[in-house]
Each structure stands twice: as C-alpha cells, then as structure tokens.
Amino acid sequence: MLKKLDYTKIYYYSYLCFAFTLPLSRGSLSFFSIFLLIVWLIEGNLKDKFYNISNNKILIALALFLFWSFLSCFWSENSNEAINKIIKYRYLLLPFIIYTTFDKNHINKAISLFLSGIFISEIISYGVYFGLWQFKHASILSPSPFMMHIDYSIFLAFSSILLLNRLLYNNYTFLTKVIYSIFFLTVTGNLFLQIGRTGQISYMIAIVVLMIIHFRITFKSIIISILTISLISSTAYKISPNFQNRVFKTQNEITTIMQNDLRSSIGIRISFWIVTYNILSQDLKTFLIGTGFGDYSNSMKNQMQNNQNIYTNYKLDTTFISNNHPHNQYLTNLLQSGFIGFSLFLLIFYYILKKQYLTTELKELSILFSVIFLTSCLTEPLLFKQFTLALVSFFIGIFSL
C-alpha cells in the first residue's frame, strides 16, 4: 500500500503548504517538520538519498554542524536544557529532505507562495495597526500578528529585499512589476511600523549589498545606496511613530552606554559580548568545544557570580544576563559548542555563497538572504526561534538544490 503512494505529489503539496504557512502558523511548521521526515523515511531509497547528500557541500557542512551540536550535549551538565534545544534542530533536517525530493522547477512557485503568506500577514498587521480589528497578541505598538516583533521584522526585511531585487530585473512583465512595486511599498512600510530594529538594520545593509550586486562598487552604487536608505528611513521616520520611538530609544541607549551603563536593550547585548569573551578566554578547551549545548545560562551565571571584580566598571543587569540566552547567535554557538561549532555554522553559509546556481536571480537571492540572516544573528539567536529556524531551514534547502 505504501508503495502505491504518489510521493512526488505528497512532497510537492507539502512544500507549497509549508512555504505558504511559513510566516503564518507555528502549528503548520511543527506538523510538516515531522510529517516530511516520516514520509521521507517511509519512502525508502535511503542509500541513494545519503549518497546524493554526500555530494553536496552545503549539506555536508550542515550535517557536520548538527553532529557537533549533538555531540556537545554530552559535555553539558544541564541535560534537560540540552535536549530541549537540540530537539528544535529537527527543522534543520528539512534541507536534506528538500534536496532529495524537491523539483528545482518549483522553486519560484514556492517562493511566490511564501510571499503570499507574507501578504496575508501584512493585511492582518495593517488592520491591527489602524485599529480595524484585534488579532492575538498584536497591538498598535507592535503589529506583529503571528510571531515576535524581532522575528517578523526579519521576515519583512527578506521579503522586501526579495521584491526589490525582482524589480531590478527585466524578465518580468510590466503588470507583474506594478504588482511587485505596490507589494514592495507595503512590505517596506510594514517593516518600519514594527518595533524590531533587527530587521530594519539588516535591511539597510542588504540594500547596500543589493546595489553593489547590480551596479558593482562604483560611485553610482554608493550614491544610489545612500539615496535609497535616506529616502526609506526619512519617510519611515515621518510617518511611523513606532520607528520614531525606536530611533529616540536608540539615541538614549547610546548615551547611557557611553557612561558605562549597560542596562538597556543594546547595553545588554554588549554585556553578553563582554561576559562571553571572559568565559571563552579561560582556557583553550572551553574556546574550542564550548561549555556544552545546554550550559550557556549556567556558564553566564557562574561567570557573573565568581568574577564580580571584572565588571565593577560597568552598570550591568546581572539578573537578566544570568538567566537569559546571549541575544546573539554567534555568541550562543561559541558558548554551546565552541569555536568548532561556530566555524561549522559559518561554513554552511560559505558554501551557500560559493555555490553556482541555475539562475543569476537565485544566486543573488542566496547572497541577500545570507546578508539578512547573518546580520540578524548579531542581535538574536535565530536558531532558538521556531519561525526563523524554519525560515533558514527552508531556504538552505532551496539553495542546496
């Protein structure tokens, strides 16, 4: 009976549903992360699948990262935390499944459905912002309907830069470009209605990279980048009270940081850099293999308690630092699995950027996605978060094809 199943159709519709619900539903992401793995195993041909995977450098790097992360659970004293975190990495199995079962000809359709999901989330977000309706935890101050505002800002930043990149191509019809232009404006506007600075900053950096891609490093690309960023940011500042408030807050936080007061959103992130550096510099073993996959909080807490003299020159939120993740994917990797784990994480994106793609547009999309994601990792551990973990897993799979 199982042999009679049309696995091609099962994968096809599953991927399209996954792409569409990627910005919309935690339940759908959880379901498909397990369902696709089960179908993949039931289908069989595992020997051929593993052989194909072994010839893909992106997936080899990902497999090494997963293996080392799993291995680091064994020198973690907090086994419960290690297990809870490693279970979330099941989403990172998705690229292996996509690579061995997804038809390259359907990439554009999957990306279009992802954008359709963004469009629906936008309608809900704008409705909440303008007081037309209420939706879950979203509010006028934080109109993010399905996920945390930081995560949503990353989704919006990537969607906006994807649309802007398409507008710079001539292989789309005039009507399609008109639709993309309107969609681009609404997505970008929504990005700056959010209170998530992470997506906004990564977006600005991605614009510079986009201009360099299309116009190289020339006087023209520099001017266009400056004008584009200035236009978007000044317009956002004038029309978005949320963006104004975040700008004022950033200015105030920088002022307090200059006075060695790190009790703020940005200050806390700087604190984690300082504390992580002191932990990793204790000995070579800790630097290379980390403190264990579940012990990042314990190591932070012990560092703060046992070395208070180091931090006397700073005003720190010691309680927050001792009980939270480092708010940075790179610091998290270094603490969990050391420089080895950190290097393997970056190796994945090195091969994504190095790969030759079917089309120039897909190549550029891989670069822009990597810029958005890797920049955002500086302020949040995105592999801890379901939506961003599912996002990177899906697109690693797409880029591996």
pLDDT single digits (tens) 19-39:
999 999 999 999 999 999 999
Residue 376 confidence (pLDDT): 96
Identify which has the larger pLDDT, 137 or 31.
Answer: 31
Model confidence at 3: pLDDT above 70: no
C-alpha 21/C-alpha 91 separation (Å) is 15
The mean pLDDT of the chain is 91
When pLDDT is averaged across residues 272-292 and rounded to a whole number, the result is 92
What mean pLDDT is predicted for residues 332-350?
96
pLDDT digits (tens, 9 = 90+) for 154-163: 999 999 999 9
Cα 357 to the chain's mean position, in Å?
21
CB 293 within 8 A of CB 73: yes
**Mean pLDDT, rounded, for 140-150:** 92
Identify the sign of the CA torsion 99, 108, 399, 31: negative
What phi-psi label fits residue 44: left (phi over 0), alpha (psi between -120 and 50 degrees) or beta? left
Please check the confidence at residue 50 and state whether its pLDDT lies above 90.
yes
State both tokens at 203. Answer: 């977006």
In angstroms and rounded to an integer, the radius of gyration of the C-alpha atoms of the chain is: 22
Band of residue 298 on the pLDDT scale cut at 50, 70, 90: confident
For residue 60, is pLDDT > 90?
yes
- Give yes or no for a contact between 136 and 121, defined as CB atoms under 8 angstroms apart: no
Q: Over 80: is that where the pLDDT of 391 sits?
A: yes
Helix (H, G, I), strand (E, B) or coil at 264: coil
| 168 contacts 123 by C-beta, under 8 angstroms | no
* pLDDT given at position 148: 93
Q: So what's the pLDDT on residue 141?
A: 87
Mean pLDDT of 171-199: 91
Residue 349 has pLDDT above 60, yes or no: yes
DSSP 8-state secondary structure symbol assigned to residue 142: S
Question: Would you call 256 helix, strand, or coil by DSSP?
Answer: helix
Instruction: Write out pLDDT tens, residues 93-115.
Output: 999 999 999 999 999 999 999 99
pLDDT score for 177: 92
Nearest to 69 by CA among 95, 52, 88: 88
For residue 384 the two structure tokens come to 């801890």
pLDDT of residue 329: 96
For residues 200 and 191, the answer to whether their CB atoms sit within 8 Å is yes
Which of these ranges, 49-53, 120-124, 212-216, has the smallest mean pLDDT?
212-216
Please tell me the predicted confidence (pLDDT) of residue 175.
Answer: 93
Please tell me the distance from the alpha carbon of residue 131 to that of residue 128, in angstroms, as a whole number: 5
The greatest distance separating any two alpha carbons of the chain, rounded to the nearest whole angstrom, comes to 70
What secondary structure letter does DSSP report for 326? Answer: -
Confidence check: pLDDT of 1 > 60: no
CA–CA dist 283, 66 (Å, integer): 24
Is 315 exposed, middle or buried, given 0-12, 13-18 or 19+ CB atoms closer than 10 A?
Answer: middle
> Amino acid letter at 316?
L
**Between 193 and 64, the higher pLDDT residue:** 64
| Cβ(393)–Cβ(94) below 8 Å | yes
The 8-class DSSP code of residue 136 comes to T
Residue 51 has pLDDT above 80, yes or no: yes
Q: Which residues pair with 261 in a beta bridge?
A: 315
Per-residue pLDDT tens over the stretch 217-241: 777 778 888 888 888 888 888 888 8
Residue 55: predicted pLDDT: 95
pLDDT at 129: 93
Q: Strand, coil or helix: what is 6?
A: coil
DSSP 115: H
Residue type, position 151, single letter: D
Take residue 272 and report the two structure tokens written for it.
């984690």
Spatial separation of the C-alpha atoms in residues 246 and 201, rounded to whole Å: 12
Please compute the mean of the pLDDT values over residues 68-75 and round it to a whole number: 94
Identify whether the C-beta of residue 157 lies closer than 8 Å to the C-beta of residue 206.
Answer: yes
Q: Is the pLDDT of residue 305 over 70?
A: yes
DSSP 336-349: HHHHHHHHHHHHHH
